[in-house]
Amino acid sequence: MNHLLPLVAALAGLPLGFWARDLAIRHSVGEEALLGHACPRCATAVGGGPVASLRLAAGRCPGCRARIGPPPLVAEVLTAVTLAALASRYPWPELAAYGWLTAVTVALVAVDVAVHRLPDRLTAAAFLGTVAPLTAAALTRDGAPDLARALLGGLVLTGLYLLLFLVNPEGMGLGDVKFAAALGVALGRLGWDALVTGAFLGFLAGGLYGGALVAARRAGRGSEIPFGPFMAAGAFAVILTAQGIR
């Protein structure tokens, strides 16, 4: 059965990715339009839920045809592939924690790319949905030290991003600070080296991207770029290459 687990996880990742797409569509609007689920460009109501996602399978507003959410199948395939890789490295319930984090992160990244915002609902869901399975693992395996390290990792990474926000509010958003809590817990569960490496890779990727934009004269030094995708990339680079938990 173990050799079939990645396949099962990949199949489960397809509907999870579809759900992540729906989340991205419903949150890729300004705060004032969130409840109305309106297109951020033409204010056409696009609705919410699975039915609306099916209508928006092309990922575009039915009114002005502007892109809403990730391109077709990107969220689904990315989630499925990531879950398959996770299933080859992590047992249950850690797999549940990292799988949940994957799906919510896909939605968060899509929203951040679209509107430069990491919604509180999704960052809170990422944190709670990651902590709950890890707590269950600690209770069933006498893993209190592992859980304590994970929670402390979340606190440390959140504190780091909060400090950066206080020093330079224009360069770091509170959404990044809140997203750091979930990523810090996930990385902290793997160890302090994983936490440091994941954070470093995120900053490195974001710095290289920003530097490339400046060099290409597509952005200035004060230009705003979404940092959530780089945070996620750094964290998952470590999560997907770690030795895993057995």
Sign of CA dihedral 220, 226, 231, 237: negative
The closest of 117, 90, 157, 92 to 32, measured between CA atoms, is 117
Q: Which residues pair with 67 in a beta bridge?
A: 60
Phi, psi (rounded to 5 degrees) for 29: -140, 165
77: left (phi over 0), alpha (psi -120 to 50) or beta: alpha
* pLDDT reported for residue 53: 47
> Would you give the DSSP letter of residue 71?
P
**Measured distance CA(34)–CA(42) in Å, rounded:** 14
Rounded to the nearest angstrom, the gap between the alpha carbon of residue 178 and the centroid of all alpha carbons in its chain is: 11
* pLDDT reported for residue 219: 65
pLDDT 10s digits, 172-208? 899 999 999 999 999 999 999 999 999 999 999 998 9
Q: Model's pTM, two decimal places?
A: 0.87
CB-CB neighbours of 203 under 10 Å: 15
Residue numbers in the chain where pLDDT is lower than 50: 1, 30-36, 50-51, 53-55, 57
Tokens 């391109």 belong to residue? 71
